[in-house]
């Protein structure tokens, strides 16, 4: 646990313990709905269900998951943002929604003012991957190879405007690499074409590609973050290769409607921090391709603002306007 996070957690736990009667009065629902704005079976859904089970035992309330997919998660996001702020309706999504104000011109809610972070669940890194035969083994080799080819190198992404896309474009911006974006509707089709070398490389989530790397079917070139990932500890980070600040991993967190009483948020946050920090849950997360990340609301708020600051200029430059 990070020292700062530990101090915050201890302080929050103490505050929650003192304020228990008031929190109990505010947080009076017996059932708590956790909305996952994607189809069942994905990383966000798996993380939410694992956490819901443990929060039920920890808090004595029934936490359950409801999937509300569609519109790149914005149907579920909007639903929670406009729900009663009583702690009875929560949301699991990634910090990527911090970029939505810039990439979705018709967004009907504000991720910063209509939702409030409650705590961290888990994260999965984004990884640059290629078929084994590609003649590049690191980012600099990939850049050099792209410049040696008249049409550059094609790269697959699971969706236009996602963090994986923006981080790869940022590498090209820093190096003048010739990377040609090939967007897909989801990670599955993108992964298929990377495996078959129909595209030169891909930037995809580690949780869904880890097995292919371990089996030797894909070559992992870099983890697009500043430190290595526990999922693939032998794969160098982008920062190690001279490319710091590429915030491409997906950090899943729990949100509540913005006007939820502070005592209710603190109560759920303290319980969430505790259960995500337990070894048993961490092991389950690793099996699901996630690293458990117990984090406090203040840390997550800073991470969301940092993410938006990093990618808003790229979104503007690419004129990304999603529906």
Specify the pTM: 0.84
Site of tokens 């030797």: 216
List, for residues 142-178, the tens digit of each pLDDT value.
Answer: 999 999 999 999 999 988 888 999 999 999 999 999 9
The confidence score (pLDDT) of residue 25 equals 57
The confidence score (pLDDT) of residue 208 equals 86
Sign of CA dihedral 4, 5, 6, 11: positive
- Whether residues 261 and 203 share a domain: the answer is no
Environment class of 186 (CB within 10 Å of its CB; exposed 0-12, middle 13-18, buried 19+): exposed
Q: For residues 264 and 251, what is the distance between their CA atoms, to the nearest angstrom?
A: 23
290 and 207 in contact (C-beta within 8 Å)? yes
DSSP bridge partners of 156 = 182, 202
Residue 1 predicted with pLDDT over 50: no
- Range of the structural domain that residue 79 is part of: 3-124+250-318
Q: Quick check: is 323 in a domain?
A: no
- Whether residues 67 and 18 share a domain: the answer is yes
- Residue after which a domain boundary falls, among 211, 241, 271: 241
- Which is more confidently placed, 15 or 152? 152
Q: For residues 248 and 316, what is the distance between their CA atoms, to the nearest angstrom?
A: 18
- Which is more confidently placed, 262 or 20? 262
- Residue after which a domain boundary falls, among 241, 263, 295: 241
DSSP 8-state assignment for residue 237: B
Both tokens of residue 1? 């646990």
List, for residues 100-148, the tens digit of each pLDDT value.
Answer: 999 999 999 999 999 999 999 999 999 999 999 999 999 999 999 999 9
């Amino acid at each position: 646990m990070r020292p700062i996070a530990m101090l915050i957690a201890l302080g929050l736990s103490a505050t929650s313990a003192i304020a228990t009667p008031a929190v109990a009065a505010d947080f009076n629902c017996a059932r708590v709905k956790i909305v996952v704005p994607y189809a069942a079976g994905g990383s966000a859904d798996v993380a939410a269900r694992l956490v819901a089970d443990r929060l039920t035992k920890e808090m004595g309330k029934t936490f359950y998951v409801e999937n509300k997919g569609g519109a790149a998660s914005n149907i579920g996001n909007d639903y929670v943002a406009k729900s009663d702020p009583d702690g009875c309706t929560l949301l699991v999504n990634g910090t990527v929604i911090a970029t939505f104000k810039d990439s979705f011109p018709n967004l009907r809610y504000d991720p910063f003012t209509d939702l409030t972070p409650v705590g961290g669940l888990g994260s999965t890194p984004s990884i640059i991957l290629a078929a084994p035969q590609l003649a590049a083994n690191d980012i600099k080799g990939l850049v050099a190879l792209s410049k040696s080819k008249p049409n550059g190198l094609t790269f697959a992404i699971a969706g236009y405007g996602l963090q994986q896309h923006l981080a790869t474009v940022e590498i090209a911006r820093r190096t003048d690499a010739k990377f040609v974006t090939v967007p897909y509707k989801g990670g599955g089709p993108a992964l298929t074409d990377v495996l078959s070398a129909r595209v030169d490389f891909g930037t995809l989530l580690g949780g869904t590609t880890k097995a292919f790397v371990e089996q030797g079917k894909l070559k992992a070139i870099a983890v697009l973050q500043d430190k290595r990932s526990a999922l693939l500890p032998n794969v160098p980070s982008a920062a190690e290769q001279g490319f710091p600040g590429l915030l491409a991993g997906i950090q899943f967190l729990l949100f509540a409607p913005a006007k939820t009483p502070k005592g209710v948020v603190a109560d759920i946050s303290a319980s969430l921090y505790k259960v995500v920090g337990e070894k048993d849950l961490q092991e389950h997360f690793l099996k699901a391709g996630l690293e458990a990340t117990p984090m406090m609301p203040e840390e997550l708020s800073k991470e969301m603002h940092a993410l938006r600051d990093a990618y808003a200029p790229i979104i503007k430059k690419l004129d990304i306007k999603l529906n």
